[in-house]
Structure 1
Amino acid sequence: MPATVRSSGTRRNILDTAQRIMAHKGYSAVGINEVLKEAGVPKGSFYHYFTSKDAFGEALLKSYFADYVADMDRILAPSGRSAAERLMAYWQQWRETQSFDHCQGKCLAVKLSAEVADLSEPMRLSLKEGTDAVVDRIARAIADGLKDGSLSIDGTPRDVARPLYDLWLGASVMAKIHRSLAPIDTATALTRQLLHL
């Protein structure tokens, strides 16, 4: 196997491992050595893959959002279902993967947003770029729903997409605080109201 392929695989392994650990513990509570040990990578090789912990955090968020929006694209892709059904399937997946501690690294935005936004400007910008990509996809799905007649809204798709994402992000935090899916259920009901479903 060429060294560049091994290097790329090792870098991805470090990022995937960090994503799983940090989804449970947060960013500041996790040391690089813990991630490297769990990933089975020698301690001294971290700076071969990342120039600093900030660069690592930025890469972590970019990797997370790349995977997240790819999954969104799969769920929201045109299929035999209406755009509204596809959008509600996305929210259902969110309910299953974003709301509690056993999210297998899939709730990184929920876990890290408030923590890292003030720690690092590059990480904040990665969060902004990633969440904007999520909102763009929600807005496109809403626009598709307007076209196929499966939903209706008051305002533009973007005007509705942003508060919907904010609603679900906040509901996920509250679900963690209360250890209850009630905030997610409320978000689902409000989403149906906003989309006139």
Structure 2
Amino acid sequence: MAQVSGNIDTRRGILDTAHGIVGAKGFSGVGLNEILVAAGVPKGSFYHYFGSKEAFGEALLADYFEAYLADIDATLAEPGLSHAERLMNYWRKWQATQGSIDYQRKCLAVKLAAEVSDLSEPMRLALKRGTAGIIDRVTGAIQAGIAEGSLKVEAEPRATAETLYHLWLGASLMAKIERTDVPFEAAMTTTRRILEPRPV
């Protein structure tokens, strides 16, 4: 049980604890009491930070995407690599985390998109903002790779980024269904064909 104290620490502790539990069981399948017991937080404290379970879900997604986008920024700025190499590393990291049994590392966009999009408009919008941020960053990486000469794409960079994100989102869902890495391997092959990465 993770004991937390102080206003910031309490809110942070609730969110950190919830990432693993919701990643494993989904949003609807988890009661607030399970999260609060695991976090060592009384129920009254929860409503001090979150007005409802839906507001909590929105905050959880916003928190997840903040960390996720920071991680993408670090991957796409890794020194000593071409933009193509950085972008391919991003897809490799996607496969490594989505293929992992570590629920803390699972993508909440993959886990919750189908579940909450029809149930909660605020959570749907949080997912939309987060995924748009991912696509924005992939778009920028593609544009930089084209300018550098390490990537060659046929479609516009934004359309290419959207296609790739949809491809990997679908591969993540199929990998869950099939319980193999085959969908990821197919996605990687298609990604290489679309981006045509090359040395510079």
User: By the TM > 0.5 criterion, same fold?
Assistant: yes
TM-score, scaled relative to structure 2: 0.93
CA–CA distance in 2 between the matches of 1:50 and 1:152? 46
Aligned to 1:23: 23
Q: How many pairs align? A: 193
Q: Where do residues 53-64 of structure 1 align in structure 2 (5 Å cutoff)?
A: 53-64=53-64
Contact conserved, 1:100 with 1:179, CA < 8 A, in 2?
no
Aligned to 1:121: 121
Shift in Å at residue 43 of structure 1?
2.2
2:187 matches 1:187: yes
Aligned residue identity for 2:184? I
Aligned residue identity for 1:156? E
Q: Once the two structures are superposed, what CA deviation does each residue of 1:44-103 show, in whole Å capped at 9, x if it has no partner? A: 221011011111000000000000000000000152100000001100110111234424
Shift in Å at residue 25 of structure 1?
0.5
Q: Which runs of 5 or more residues in structure 2 are unaligned?
A: none
CA–CA distance in 1 between the matches of 2:16 and 2:119? 21
CA–CA distance in 2 between the matches of 1:80 and 1:100? 28
Identity between Structure 1 and Structure 2 (%): 57
CA–CA distance in 1 between the matches of 2:113 and 2:72? 19
Q: Once the two structures are superposed, what CA deviation does each residue of 1:126-161 show, in whole Å capped at 9, x if it has no partner? A: 000000000000000101100110010012110100
Q: Which runs of 5 or more residues in structure 1 are unaligned?
A: none
Contact conserved, 1:174 with 1:183, CA < 8 A, in 2?
yes
Aligned residue identity for 1:190? T
2:134 matches 1:134: yes
Shift in Å at residue 24 of structure 1?
0.9
Q: Where in structure 1 do 4 or more consecutive aligned residues deviate above 6 Å?
A: none
Contact conserved, 1:91 with 1:188, CA < 8 A, in 2?
yes
TM-score, scaled relative to structure 1: 0.95
Q: Secondary structure at the match of 2:6?
A: helix
Q: Where do residues 56-135 of structure 1 align in structure 2 (5 Å cutoff)?
A: 56-77=56-77, 79-135=79-135
